[in-house]
Amino acid sequence: MGTLPRVDGERMREDFEALSRIGATAEGGVSRPTFSDAHFAAREWFLTRARAAGLDTQVDAAGNHSAVLRVQLHRHARVLLLGSHLDSVPGGGRYDGAMGVVAALHVLLALKDAGTDLPFGVEAIDFTDEEGTLLGLLGSEALAGSLSAESLHAPRGGRDALLAGLARAGLSEARLLEARRDPQTLAGYLELHIEQGPRLEREGVRIGVVTTIVGSRSFRLVLHGAGGHAGGLPMDVRRDAAVAAARLILSVQDIVVHDFPGAVATVGDVRVEPGAFNVVPGVARLALEFRSHDDGELDAIESAVLGRARADAEANGIELAVTPVARWQPTRLDPRVSDKIERAAVDLGLTTKRLASFAGHDAQALAPVTASGMIFVPSVGGVSHDPREHTAWDDVVNGANVLLRTVERLASPS
């Protein structure tokens, strides 16, 4: 096995660190929301680095950025996509998405250097707006052909932000759908990503083989009570929107922890209006999201959480408005690809664990149209979407080598 090609871990580290300086925050993470200056700079860095290494590059109608290793010998060869994303949540970590793109690039470089004979082209792809600053999975859904008119009209970040963002990126809403690729042209999809949870670290396992990707639903909730003077309004007659928001947050927690232990739910944003020391809040706006690997469970959580919220609101004289924001089905990845990933890890002497992903990924957009698989590496403390997000460099290199070896295994007939 000593002859297996490997990625150049040191060059990859230099690249990863150069990339991490783009949009770097004082807290040690990165902030590269979709179509921010830092995001544009990161994508430009990626194309420049790929070109310098002698790879072709391309940008499609959805703004997806790619480096491509073409196959000389096969005229109508399909292409194997190795993807992830360079956008981040605001104030996020360095590894989420970026690690997968840098690793994909280095897998191409290793294949190129080794002169490996492949039956398909290999493309390292940076998908647009995975995190959902604008819409979520925008680039991967466009490529898969599943981008819906509905989500374009009521995107998570608001319609105005979407249109302004597309304009800033020189993209046209009308042309987004042109990014769709015929599934016949695809040889599959592989994604290396950090786990963003604590399971691999807890069990001391080096490589996670992802079986399914969580489904999620998100909603905007607006609670309308009655504002008033914080001194003049007796507590027994108040319809305080902050108190209503507090009850809602704790009821979400209570319902999901006790009745749906396999799921997670989060109230990720709370704003009250007008927001002053001496005014009882009249309005509260919340961002609610929950995730499960079972679509029926998502139905049950939606019914329980929104049902309790409506009953509590009514009992307290509060009006509740609920607006659905996003809805992703749980997605099963290809078991044959998972087997290849597992064998690739074994080839490299690495321990593996099959696990479900509680995070959404571009792979869930690709899985319905092409054989898709995901590789996880451990997240220190399970922390992600936070500047403290960290993965040991050895694990990054392991993940990149498993990605490389999986490409080779997919290329071989057995």
Q: Tell me if 377 contacts a second copy by CB under 8 A.
A: no
Least Å distance between CB 372 and a second copy? 18
Binding span for a second copy by CB under 8 A among 41-49, 112-120, 267-275, 298-306: 267-275
- Of 61 and 249, the one with the shorter C-beta distance to a second copy is 249
Q: Tell me if 271 contacts a second copy by CB under 8 A.
A: yes
Rule CB under 8 A: choose which of 216, 352, 370, 406 binds a second copy. Answer: 216
- Of 174 and 235, the one with the shorter C-beta distance to a second copy is 235
Residue 336, Ramachandran bin (φ over 0: left; ψ between -120 and 50: alpha; else beta): alpha
- Of 136 and 373, the one with the shorter C-beta distance to a second copy is 136
Rule CB under 8 A: choose which of 62, 280, 333, 355 binds a second copy. Answer: 280
The CA distance from 85 to 43, in Å, is 9
* Vertex 146: Cα angle to 140 and 150 (nearest 5): 115
92 contacts 30 by C-beta, under 8 angstroms? yes
How many C-alpha atoms does 51 have within 13 Å on its Cβ side?
9
- Of 9 and 198, the one with the shorter C-beta distance to a second copy is 198
Rule CB under 8 A: choose which of 28, 90, 119, 368 binds a second copy. Answer: 90
Rule CB under 8 A: choose which of 274, 307, 317, 324 binds a second copy. Answer: 274
DSSP string, 102-136: HHHHHHHHHHHHHT---SSEEEEEE-TTSS-SSSS
Which helix (H) or strand (E) segment is 303 a member of? helix 295-315
Site residues (CB under 8 A) for a second copy, limited to 43-62: none
| Partner residues linked to 283 by β-bridges | 224, 273
Binding span for a second copy by CB under 8 A among 7-15, 164-172, 315-323, 354-362: 354-362
Binding span for a second copy by CB under 8 A among 67-75, 121-129, 269-277, 401-409: 269-277
Site residues (CB under 8 A) for a second copy, limited to 303-332: 325-326
Site residues (CB under 8 A) for a second copy, limited to 171-200: 195-198
DSSP string, 158-222: -HHHHHHHHHHTT--GGGGGGG---GGGEEEEEEEEE--SSHHHHHT-SEEEEEEE-EEEEEEEE
